[in-house]
Every structure is written in structure tokens, then in C-alpha cells.
Amino acid sequence: MIRWLPYFFAALIPIILAIVTTQKLGERWAWINRKIIHLSIVPAMIMFYYSLLPRYVFSLSALTIGICQLIPHLRKKEFSWYQIEHNYGEVFFALSAAPISYFLPRTYATALMLAMAISDGVTGIIRHFYFKRHGFNVRLKKHWTGSVAYLLTAIAIALYFLDGNLIKKTIWAAALMIAEYQPWLDDNLAVPLVGGLLFLLY
């Protein structure tokens, strides 16, 4: 038996459960559903960190998931309960995880991917409920409350996974937060790009 196969299925189960659960929540909760699916990938990232999933398995799985999510966009038949027309964030999220997990050192790759999943997920949920409470359309909106959540969670991730002092780790987290907040490039592309460049300086 292939040693990593049980862990592959163990990593897949939370993702499938998230997709099934969010489908029941429906299109009205699309923004939250996206973040729930983001967070459901965390167990797979932890298994990758502990070498329970080989690089090529994780990377190829991320690439496959990215392509599978791209197809509905290209066919104009999005999965409406979590995909948003003309917004390819979930595709970029999966596709960027493929080279990150394959080329970067395992510990650094895990930290960066967890920031993409946890920090972005928590950020989106906080922003959603902030705007909901104030009666605004929450789709694709940014707010400083979410950015504070992003910074704090990214610092916590850096403290656990990365080497260096607190200042260095805070700068790393702050750079990712700025990449997530900036309005010019989708954050699911900007964060991995900035994170990849930071590795060269780290």
C-alpha cells in the first residue's frame, strides 16, 4: 500500500465536507463559503508540513483543484455557492499553492500557505460580518478590521514556523497583509508573489 494514501484521503475529507456544507448554505453566503473552503485545506497543509504528504502529491493535487475550479469559470457555469463571476481568487489560491509547495522549503512553504488559508480566511469572515452589520454589500470589499486580523494571525503563524526574531517575523506578516489589502492585484496572486520574494530576503 502507498504510505501516503491514507493521509491523502484524510486531507481530502475536510475539503469535501466544506464543499457539501457550503453548498447547503447557498449563494447568499458565497463570500463566507469561499473562506470556509480556504480553511478546510489547513489539515492538508499540516500533513504536508510533517511530510505525511509528499511534495509532488500536494503540488499536483493543488494544480488539479485549481484547474477543476477554472473550468466552470471558462464555461460561464460557476459553482454559485462559492464562485463569483469574473473573480478567479479560488483558482489563483489553488494554482499558486502548487509551485509554493513544490519549490520552496517545506517549513517556509507551509507558513506561507497557512497565511493564505488561515489569515485570508479569518480576514474575509471578519470583513463579511462587519459590512453585514453596517448594511453594505460585502462582496470583494476590504476593511482595516480584516487587515488587523490578517496581521495577528500571520504573526502567530510566523512565530511558530519561521526562524528569526519577532521584528523579522512581524515584517514578514505585515508585508503579506499589505499584499492582501492592496487593490491592484488579486490577493491570491499578490500574497504568494510577495511571500516568494520575501523568501529570497529571509
Domain extent listing, the chain: 5-201
Q: Which residue has the cell 504510505?
A: 3
pLDDT (tens digit per residue) in 47-67: 999 999 999 999 999 999 999
pTM of this prediction?
0.91
From CA 44, how far away is CA 96, in angstroms rounded? 15
The yes-or-no verdict on residue 121 having pLDDT over 90 is no
Q: What is the 8-class DSSP label of residue 83?
A: -
pLDDT, tens digit (0-9, with 9 covering 90-100), for 4-20: 999 999 999 999 999 99
Name the strand (E) or helix (H) holding 45: helix 42-49
Q: What residues does 84 pair with on adjacent strands?
A: 87
pLDDT given at position 139: 57
How far apart CA 36 and CA 47 sit, in angstroms, is 19
For residue 159, the surrounding DSSP H or E stretch is helix 144-161
Report the pLDDT value the prediction gives residue 201, as an integer from 0 to 100: 76
- Better-scored residue on pLDDT, 103 or 32: 103
Question: 141 falls in which pLDDT band (50, 70, 90)?
Answer: low
Distance of CA 79 to the CA centre of its chain: 18
What percent of the chain shows pLDDT beyond 90?
68
Provide the β-strand partners of residue 147: none
Average pLDDT, the chain: 90
